Amino acid sequence: MTTSRKFQRTKEDFTCERCGFFVRGSGYTNHCPQCLWSKHVDVNPGDRQATCQGPMEPVGVELKGGEYTILHRCVSCGFEKRNKMAKDDNFDAILKLSSRPTKR
């Protein structure tokens, strides 16, 4: 498998496997804007090369420079990835996530 560190824009719609919300992808969409869960599909952003395919739980939020970043952890293999909050993300879910301690 050849991996590239370069971002690959992959525009696709999906139904969240966690909450059932229909997500219209922009090519930068990497998690459900309602429940914030993701799926372990990429080795590098947009490549769809990960074989795990496990659910990725939002386990923490960081705020730096006025920008929120969600920490996702794969429930199946433990892989961790940080993703920027999207403008259409459920801000109440972000706040709820930010109020709980990060599980390590």
Contact 38, 56 (CB under 8 A): yes
Pairing of strands 55-64, 38-39: antiparallel
Mean pLDDT along residues 8-36: 90
Please compute the mean of the pLDDT values over residues 2-16 and round it to a whole number. Answer: 76
pLDDT of the residue at 1: 47
pLDDT band at 100 (very low <50, low <70, confident <90, very high): low
Per-domain boundaries in the chain: 14-98
Q: What is the pLDDT of residue 44?
A: 86
pTM of the model: 0.84
**Which band of pLDDT confidence, cut at 50, 70 and 90, is reported for residue 58?**
very high
Q: What is the mean pLDDT of residues 43-61?
A: 92
Residue 59's alpha-carbon distances to 21, 22, 48, 51, 94, in angstroms, are 20, 22, 22, 22, 10
C-alpha span between 71 and 39 (Å, rounded) = 13
Q: What pLDDT score does 4 carry?
A: 52
Positive or negative: CA dihedral 23, 24, 27, 33: negative
Alpha helices in 1-104 (DSSP H): 91-98
